[in-house]
Amino acid sequence: RKEVEQDPGPFNVPEGATVAFNCTYSNSASQSFFWYRQDCRKEPKLLMSVYSSGNEDGRFTAQLNRASQYISLLIRDSKLSDSATYLCVVNSVNTGGFKTIFGAGTRLFVKA
User: Which residues contact other proteins by CB under 8 A?
Assistant: 31-32, 34, 41-46, 49, 87, 89, 91-93, 97-100, 102-105
Tell me how far, at minimum, the Cβ of 70 lies from other proteins, in Å.
17
Contact 109, 96 (CB under 8 A): no
Beta strands in 66-102 (DSSP E): 70-75, 84-94, 97-102
Of 102 and 109, nearer to other proteins (C-beta) is 102
Tell me how far, at minimum, the Cβ of 64 lies from other proteins, in Å.
15
Tell me how far, at minimum, the Cβ of 10 lies from other proteins, in Å.
11
All residues at 6 or more sequence positions from 95 whose CB lies less than 8 Å from its CB, including other chains: none
